[in-house]
Structure 1
C-alpha cells in the first residue's frame, strides 16, 4: 500500500470505529482486525502503519469526530506530510478550502467537571500515553526474581510485589511462562486492587463482578487456601476463567448470575463472606491509555446508568459480608461520582459500616479511599476503598 492508500484505509476504519462507538458496537481494536481480515493484500507493515494512524487519530480527539475523514484531517493539521497525501492516487480526496479537521482535545468537555480534584489538567496528557505491558507473577507457583530472565527487558514493577513491566506493544500470548501459568498479563494497578483485599488462607471470598477473572486469579495466588467464588452476569467473559484457573493451578468456583435475581443465587454466601470484591462496571476513564475510543462511547446517559448499577452492586455485595468482614469497592475510573462519591454514598446508606485505610503503597487519598492515576503512579487509573461491617 502507498502512504496515501494507508491514509485512506485509516479513514475508512475510523468511519467504522465512530459508528461502533455511537451504536455500542465492538471496540476499535476489533474493528481494525475485522477490516484487515477481508483485505489480505495488506502486508504486516501496512497493517501496523494503518493501525498507528487510526489510534493516533483516536487519541488526538476527545470528542467523537464527524467521520473518519475529519479525524484524518485533524492529524494532517499537525503533520504536513500527511496533509500532502490528500488528493494523491488511492488516497483521500483533496482537501477543500475551509474544510476543518477534528479538534485536538484530551477530555470531553462535558466530562471535565466529573474528574476527581486530584486529576489536575496537568495530568491529563498522561491519560493517553502508551501504557506499558505489565505481568503478574503467579505467587503460588513462582518468584518474581526467578522469572526476570525469562522476559528480556523486563523490570520489577515499583508498587506491586508481583509485577514485571515490559515496554508497550509487546505480545506474549505464546510465551512459555504465560501458557504454563507462571504469569498473567495484568496492569500493576489491577494487581494493587487484589493486594488491597489482603486475602488470607481460610477466607471465604466473593469476586462479584469477576469478568474473565484477572483479580480472582490474583487473589487465589496470594491466598491459595482461601475459598473463592467468582461471579458475573456475562457468560462469555466468565467462561474464560476456567481455562485460566486450570493453567494457573488455582481452584476458583464460578457462578453465572441472572439479574435481578442475584441474591437468591448467592443465598449460601449471605452474611458469610470474609471479603467481597466489587470491581464494578464503570466509565473506564482510568484505562484510556489502552482504550482511547472509550471517550467516544461515554455519554451522560450511560454514566448515569453506570452510577445506578454501581450503587446496586454495592448493596448486593454488602448483603454477603459477614459481621467483621470487609467489602472492597473498586472502579477503573477517575471520576468522583464513580469513586469517592459512590463510596461516601454507600456509607451514608449503611450508617453502621466504617471504612479503613487501604493497605497499598500507592495512590493518593481521595475521600474514604485511594486513587491511582497514570501520571502519579504510572498505572491505569483506579479508585479503591475498604468498607468494614461491624
Structure 2
C-alpha cells in the first residue's frame, strides 16, 4: 500500500467505527481485524501503519466525528506530512477542499466534562488517552512473583500491586510458557488492586455478582488458596461461557457459574441470601476509566445510557446487601471516573442502608473520594476505578 492508500484505508475504517458507535456495532479492534482479513494483500507494515492512524484519530476526537474523513482531517491539521497525502492519487484520499470541516481535538466529550469526579480535573484528562501498559497478575496457585520474574525476565515489578508484573509494550505474553501454564494472567494493575480490596481468604463463600469473563473471579479464587466457594454470576451468557477454560488454565476448582435473568437476579441466588462472606459488585459502567484501552467508547456513551447504568448499579448494590451474612463484606467497583457512578453511588447506598459500615479499601494508591477511593491513569498509572468497601452489621 502507498502512504496515501494507508490514509484512505484508515478513513474507511474510521467511517465504520463511527457507524458502529452510533448503532451499537462492533468495537474498533474487531472492525480492523475484519477489514484486513478481506485484504490479504496488505502486509504487516501496512496493517500497523493503518491501525496507528485509526487510533491516533480516535484518541484525538473526544466527540464522535461526522465522518472518518473529518477525523483524519483533524489529524492532518496538526501533521502537514499527513495532509500532503490527501493528493487524489490512486487509492488515496481526495484533495482537501477549501473550508472542509475537520473534527476538533478534545480528550473528553463536552457533555461529560462537568460529570467527572472533582479529583480528576482537566489536568488529568490527557492521561486518559495515553497507551496503557501491559500488566500481569501472578497466579499464586501456580507460583510466586519471583518464579514469574524468572520465567519472564523482561518483566518488571508493578508499581503498586504486590502480585503484579509489567511487560514492555507489544510483548506477546500469550506465546510464553508462563501464560500457557497459568502462572500469569493479563490484568490491569487497577483491576488487581480491586481484587485485593476484597481481602478474600480461604474458606469463604464469595459471590462475584458481575463476573463477566472471570478476570476478578480468578484473582479471588487465587487469594482464597483454592479453598472455599466462589459463585461467578452474570447476565451475559457469552462472557460467562469464557470462564471455564480460564479456570482450567489457572488451576481453579472452587468456582461455579450462574447465569442470571436481568431484574430477577435474587431468584437465581436465593440459596445464598444472607450467607455470603463477601460480595463483589464490579458493576457495568460508562468505562470512562478505560478510555486508554478503548477510546472509541467515548463515542458510544449518551446521557440516556449513563442514566440506565446508574440505575442498574444501584439495583445491583441492593441485591448484594441481601446476599451478605451478618459481618460480611461488600466491595463495589466501577471502571469509571464519573462522580455519579462512584462516590455519589456509594454515598447513596450509605443513606438507604445505614447499617453498613464503610471501611477504607486495604490497597496502596488511590485518593479518598467519599466513602471509597478513586484510582486514575494520571495519578496512579492504572486504569481509572472507583472502589468502596463496607461491612454488614452483625
TM-score with structure 2 length normalisation?
A: 0.98
Match of 2:203 in 1: 202
- What SS does the aligned partner of 2:31 have? helix
1:259 is displaced (CA, Å) by 1.6
Match of 1:185 in 2: 186
- Please tell me whether residue 139 in structure 1 is matched to residue 140 in structure 2: yes
Superposed CA offset, 1:166-221 (max 9, x none) = 12333222321111111100000000000000001111000000000000100111
Match of 1:42 in 2: 42
1:226 is displaced (CA, Å) by 2.6
Extract unaligned runs of 5+ from structure 1: none
Q: Structure 1 runs of 4+ off > 4 angstroms?
A: none
Matched ranges for 1:95-114 at <5 A: 95-114=96-115
1:348 is displaced (CA, Å) by 0.9
Structure 1 contact 328–385 (Cα < 8 Å) conserved: yes
Superposed CA offset, 1:122-153 (max 9, x none) = 11111001100000010121111221133243
Structure 1 contact 199–226 (Cα < 8 Å) conserved: no
Structure 2 contact 194–333 (Cα < 8 Å) conserved: yes
Tell me which moved more, 140-149 or 27-36: 140-149
Whole-Å separation in 2 of the counterparts to 1:344 and 1:266: 26
Structure 1 contact 86–93 (Cα < 8 Å) conserved: yes
Tell me which moved more, 106-115 or 252-261: 252-261
- What SS does the aligned partner of 1:362 have? coil
Match of 1:238 in 2: 240
- What SS does the aligned partner of 2:99 have? coil
Whole-Å separation in 2 of the counterparts to 1:273 and 1:51: 46
Extract unaligned runs of 5+ from structure 2: none
Selected match of 1:360 from 363, 367, 371: 363
Structure 2 contact 152–178 (Cα < 8 Å) conserved: no
Q: CA RMSD in A?
A: 0.9
Matched ranges for 1:115-264 at <5 A: 115-224=116-225, 225-251=227-253, 252-264=255-267
Whole-Å separation in 1 of the counterparts to 2:147 and 2:244: 26
Match of 1:287 in 2: 290
Tell me which moved more, 36-45 or 9-18: 36-45
Whole-Å separation in 2 of the counterparts to 1:387 and 1:113: 28
Selected match of 1:339 from 337, 342, 350: 342
Whole-Å separation in 2 of the counterparts to 1:374 and 1:193: 15
Whole-Å separation in 2 of the counterparts to 1:98 and 1:277: 53
